[in-house]
Amino acid sequence: MSAEIDKQLANPGDFTPCRVPLHGIERPAAGQIHLWFMDLGELAGSLRSALGGGEQAEGDAHFSGGQLTFTRRFFLRLLLGAYLGIPGKSIRIVRNRRGKPVLDPKVHPDLLHFSIAKSGAGFLVGLSSNAYLGVDIESAGRRARNALGIARRYFSETEASALAALGADERDAAFLRTWSCKEAVVKSLGLGIANQLCRFSVETDMAKPAAVLAFEEDDPAAWWLQLVRPAEHFVGAIATRSEVSDLAAFRLLRAAREGGSIA
């Protein structure tokens, strides 16, 4: 069973602020996970200035779908480059046989596992040197259409029954938590959600810590699962089938002074 970690990351203040540019970040030690949150709306000014487009007031960013995708990729490469000690533009990302984004082993032979999750302008990145991991992020307060129907179709019978016993408001919150935890577990395995969500059960009780309770053909005690709240309007989860001794969380902020290189 994975070790207990005191830091629950229940509040945005639990994330240490770090500003761009990023240089010389130490890689996670064995058993350690690094978690980074980015609000791309806040970071847009740094990127726009670096690309010669002028500054924009913090939080005053409106993205098209393509712009948001480009911004995510830019800051992901920026972050990975800081860990590997190379410019972000030199980072090469490919997909493995299961379709999960990974560092190209032909270009970057040193292991650095990562997982990404997005929700609007919210972007979460988890990193580990020795273990596959999965992260998920959701908009806090989001209500799923027919949450109970989704649970009965895709979740385990245990989870669906637990959600059915709740009132509507409690069910919405518990469903969001359950979905986020299950998404993180599936992503840590590098699998799609189809036919996977029903294979295991997670804790649905909002008063209890996140945990994997049962898993077909696997030991649930081998899993480490934790909820996070990187910002007031976002919630998420991180999962790995590995021992975790430390979790360090950071929030990437725009440069104190615009105009310089952030790559």
In one-letter notation, the amino acid at residue 144 is A
Domains observed in the chain: 12-253 (3.90.470.20)
Q: Give me the residues paired with residue 201 across strands.
A: 214
State how far the Cα of 148 lies from the Cα of 87, in Å rounded to an integer. 46
Question: 118: burial class by Cβ within 10 Å (0-12, 13-18, 19+)?
Answer: middle
Closest CA to 96 of 238, 191, 223: 191
The dihedral over CA atoms of 129, 136, 101, 239, expressed in degrees to the nearest 10, equals 40
CA angle, residues 79, 25, 111, in degrees to nearest 5? 75
Extract the residue ranges of the chain whose pLDDT is less than 50: 1-6, 54-60, 259-260
Could you report the per-residue pLDDT of 81-124, keeping only the tens digit for each?
999 999 999 999 999 888 889 999 999 988 899 999 999 999 99
Closest CA to 138 of 226, 65, 209, 237: 237
Predicted confidence at residue 196, as pLDDT, reads 87
Predicted confidence at residue 1, as pLDDT, reads 38
Phi, then psi, of 205 in degrees rounded to 5? -70, 120
Predicted confidence at residue 6, as pLDDT, reads 42
Q: What is the DSSP letter of 103?
A: E
Is residue 188 classed as helix, strand or coil in its secondary structure?
Answer: helix
Predicted confidence at residue 74, as pLDDT, reads 94
Could you report the per-residue pLDDT of 213-225, keeping only the tens digit for each?
999 999 999 999 9
> Does the predicted TM-score (pTM) go above 0.85?
yes
